[in-house]
């Protein structure tokens, strides 16, 4: 207690990894305790470890708290970044982690400039989406899920479609509550592709990577949902162009389960402050092994086991046959 009162308050960033299953996303909803979020557990650990006084836990503005990305319900992260002011107590990471459940870990800490804000200073975010490859099987083929294996030709088609998203488009149809004239619906996508498939627990999976400046709620899940619908033969390729136009297109939204915030990029900040002698660049090469180990232990098994038990992808695929791609959504 005495030590933590004497410790100076400093602006830092924490590198976080978590499995989002069972949580209503990252961002805390003060006053609504029935929806547990990742930040509820984080703030409680910060208070218990002595890095922040209790009243900062109640009013997060007091510690200038900012998360880099608001992950949706059920979404995991391997490289989430939060910025905040804390007392730099001894063994700070160990103490915070001691008060966190094992599926939430703080993997790194760096000092940053006083005015640093993890959301505003972030110039890009990379997400991955892990899905069973039978999601790409054509609707007219009778598919045994465990036996299905993705062929070259289908993977090439998937990648051709995903590449169409690159550049700047109007994504008003890929989120709710944004109209076609809203300038904030225009988003810039730097890369998007699907990697080589691999088998886990007899089921073949693949991982889609997408890097963009920033994303709106449900945007990535809808981008992937639309590509799945086209590859499966429920919608024609022309719907992609149409969905960026003014008219309302009801874009199907893939399940949240496979989505993971992989990393956040601070290229401009690193160029300006990364080598100024006082601050280090916000890069986490030394933590890469810990990140990979966390994914193997907590994120991938959760996605695979939940998929097997709850069949979220298989059940969602069944809704595509009744999805109306032609009518405008009400």
Q: Is 272 in a helix, a strand, or coil?
A: helix
Does the fold of domain 124-261+294-322 match that of domain 9-121?
A: yes
Nearest to 15 by CA among 115, 103, 82: 82
* Paired tokens of 29: 């909803």
Question: Average pLDDT in the 302-330 region?
Answer: 86
Q: Residue 6: pLDDT band by 50, 70, 90 thresholds?
A: low
CA nearest neighbour of 213 among 179, 288, 264 = 264
- The arithmetic mean of pLDDT across residues 148-176, rounded, is 97
Architecture of the CATH domain 9-121? 2-Layer Sandwich (3.30)
Average the pLDDT over 275-287 and give the result: 90
Q: What residues does 104 pair with on adjacent strands?
A: 18
Q: Identify the pLDDT of residue 275.
A: 83
CATH 3.30.70.660 fits 124-261+294-322, yes or no: yes
Segment 127-153 shows an average pLDDT of 93
Q: Tens digits of per-residue pLDDT, 243-271?
A: 999 999 999 999 999 999 999 999 999 99
What residues contact residue 36 under an 8 Å CB cut-off, 6+ apart? 22, 23, 24
pLDDT of 329 reads 45
298 vs 15: CA distance, rounded Å: 16
Tell me the whole-structure pTM to 2 decimals: 0.91
Band of pLDDT at residue 326, cut at 50, 70 and 90:
confident
What are the boundaries of each domain within the chain?
A: 9-121, 124-261+294-322
Interval 43-65: pLDDT, tens: 999 999 999 988 888 888 889 99
Residue-averaged pLDDT of the chain: 92
**How much is the pLDDT for 71?**
85
Strand 203-212 to 124-132 pairing: antiparallel
What mean pLDDT is predicted for residues 127-155? 94
What is the predicted pLDDT for the residue at 35?
86
Q: Is 41 a catalytic residue?
A: no
Q: pLDDT at position 278, please?
A: 83
pLDDT at 3 over 60: no
127 in a labelled binding site? yes
Percent of the chain past pLDDT 90, that is, above it, reads: 78
For residue 148, what pLDDT band results from cuts at 50, 70 and 90?
A: very high
Where would I find the beta strands (DSSP E) of 88-223?
104-111, 124-132, 167-170, 186-194, 198-200, 203-212
Q: Checking DSSP bridges between strand 104-111 and strand 198-200, what pairing results, if any?
A: unpaired
Q: What does the pLDDT look like over 157-169, one tens digit per residue?
A: 999 999 999 999 9
The Cα–Cα gap between 304 and 101 comes to 20
Beta strand 104-111 pairing with 124-132: unpaired
Q: Is the pLDDT of residue 101 over 50?
A: yes
Q: Give 57-99 as a 3 state SS string.
A: HHCHHHHCCEECCCCCCCCEEEEEEEEEEEECCCCHHHHHHHC
pLDDT at 28: 87
Predicted local distance difference test score (pLDDT) of residue 20: 92
Confidence of residue 1 (pLDDT cuts 50, 70, 90): low
Please tell me the chain's helix, strand, coil percentages from 3-state DSSP, rounded to the nearest 5: 35, 20, 40
Q: Which of 40, 41, 59, 72 is catalytic?
A: 72
């Amino acid at each position: 207690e005495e030590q933590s009162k004497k410790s100076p308050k400093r602006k830092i960033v924490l590198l976080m990894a978590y499995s989002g299953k069972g949580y209503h996303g990252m961002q805390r909803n003060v006053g609504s305790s029935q929806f547990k979020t990742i930040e509820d557990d984080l703030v409680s650990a910060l208070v218990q470890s002595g890095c922040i006084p209790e009243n900062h836990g109640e009013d997060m503005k007091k510690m200038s708290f900012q998360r880099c990305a608001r992950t949706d319900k059920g979404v995991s992260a391997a490289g989430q970044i939060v910025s905040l002011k804390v007392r730099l107590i001894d063994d700070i990471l160990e103490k915070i982690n001691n008060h966190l459940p094992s599926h939430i870990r703080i993997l790194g800490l760096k000092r940053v400039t006083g005015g640093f804000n993890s959301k505003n200073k972030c110039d890009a975010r990379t997400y991955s989406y892990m899905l069973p490859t039978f999601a790409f099987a054509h609707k007219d083929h009778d598919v045994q899920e465990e036996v299905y294996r993705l062929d070259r030709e289908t993977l090439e088609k998937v990648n051709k479609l995903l590449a169409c998203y690159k550049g700047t488009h109007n994504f008003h149809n890929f989120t709710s509550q944004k109209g076609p004239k809203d300038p904030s619906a225009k988003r810039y996508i730097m890369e998007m592709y699907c990697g080589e498939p691999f088998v886990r627990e007899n089921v073949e999976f693949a991982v889609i990577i997408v890097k963009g400046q920033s994303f709106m709620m449900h945007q990535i899940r809808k981008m992937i949902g639309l590509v799945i619908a086209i590859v499966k033969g429920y919608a024609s390729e022309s719907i992609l162009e149409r969905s960026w136009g003014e008219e309302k297109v009801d874009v199907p939204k893939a399940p949240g389960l496979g989505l993971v915030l992989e990393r956040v990029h601070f290229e401009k900040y690193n160029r300006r402050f990364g080598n100024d002698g006082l601050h280090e660049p916000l890069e986490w090469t030394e933590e890469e092994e810990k990140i990979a180990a966390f994914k193997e232990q907590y994120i991938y098994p959760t996605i695979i086991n939940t998929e097997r038990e709850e069949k979220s992808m298989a059940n969602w695929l069944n809704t595509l046959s009744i999805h109306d791609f032609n009518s405008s959504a009400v």
